[in-house]
């Protein structure tokens, strides 16, 4: 029976869910990265659930300004949370 060393376990470990740059926060981990189609799908789903721009920015790792800009460019309707949807 062959025992595996700790180094083998390290090499076979799953990659992190997201890369964190030195000095980056969760809210900016994807800052400057192109939008993946999966991110846009998540953005559409979050806006349908009426999740705030701030919460979306934290979940997607982007700034609030980038969320607002992408919503405008994609034509996604994201009503303010303090108003009834029309």
Q: Is 52 a member of any domain? A: yes
pLDDT class of 21 with cuts at 50, 70, 90 = very low
Q: Is 7 a member of any domain? A: no
Q: Is 1 a member of any domain? A: no
Domain carrying residue 46: 35-78
Within a 10 A sphere around the Cβ of 6, how many other Cβ atoms? Answer: 7
The percentage of residues in the chain with a pLDDT greater than 90, rounded to a whole number, is 28
pLDDT class of 5 with cuts at 50, 70, 90 = low
Name the more confident of 27 and 14: 27
Residue 63 CB partners (closer than 8 Å, separation 6+): 27, 28, 31, 57
Tokens of 41: 């799908």
Q: Is 49 a member of any domain? A: yes
Domain count of the fold of the chain: 1
Q: Is 65 a member of any domain? A: yes
Q: Is 10 a member of any domain? A: no
Q: Is 71 a member of any domain? A: yes
Q: Is 26 a member of any domain? A: no
Task: Give residue 86's pLDDT.
Answer: 53
The model's pLDDT over 50-84, given as tens digits with 9 standing for 90+, comes to 888 888 888 888 988 999 999 999 999 877 766 55
């Amino acid at each position: 029976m062959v025992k595996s060393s700790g180094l083998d376990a390290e090499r076979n470990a799953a990659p992190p869910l997201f890369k964190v740059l030195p000095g980056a926060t969760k809210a900016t981990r994807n800052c400057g990265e192109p939008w993946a189609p999966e991110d846009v799908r998540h953005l559409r789903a979050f806006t349908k659930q009426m999740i705030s721009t701030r919460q979306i920015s934290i979940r997607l790792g982007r700034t609030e300004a980038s969320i607002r800009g992408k919503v405008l460019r994609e034509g996604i309707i994201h009503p303010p949370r303090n108003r009834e949807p029309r």
